[in-house]
Amino acid sequence: MEIFHTLLRFLHVTAFAAWFGSVLASIYFLKSIEEKLTGNAINTSEYTSLLQRYIKLETKVADTGFKTVIITGILLAALYHGWTLWVFVKIGLIVLQVALTLGYITRSIRTLSYPCSPANYKRWYRLFTISLTMFALVLTISFFLL
């Protein structure tokens, strides 16, 4: 039974890393195409299409990581750690992260059209500020308070 616990923890941490990594990769990707989507480039439509394809792929990775974090987290709590206050705090933080992220995407990111001004493009970076702040809170609580 110890091997199952170790495997669950490994999957949980790996899935969290994939979810977190997809956000970091997006920051670098968006930074690399910023100039093409905020300027008067002739091929803006090509980069807009590239961005849309990237978001679809990144969403698959992030969603798979997120779902795996949730499933393994529930199994770890149910089978090994119990439903403590800190488990509920972590669940609350993850729910808050998803709500803030999806709310911001709906309100500020989906309304962007390209080319856009650099000021409007910075909405992407505000999205990552929300995500990375929430990741930091979850990690801080998981590693230092649990």
CA distance 36 to 113: 13
pTM of the model: 0.88
Helix axes 2-38, 44-76, angle to 10 degrees: 160
Rounded CA-CA distance 11/9 in Å is 5
Whether the predicted pLDDT of 146 surpasses 70: no
68-90 pLDDT, tens digit each: 999 999 999 999 989 999 889 98
Number of folded domains that form the chain: 1
In terms of Cα–Cα distance, which of 19, 48, 22, 24 is closest to 36?
Answer: 48
Handedness of CA 128, 133, 136, 142 (dihedral sign): negative
Average pLDDT, the chain: 92
- Residue 16's pLDDT is 93
Q: 19 lies in which domain range?
A: 2-145
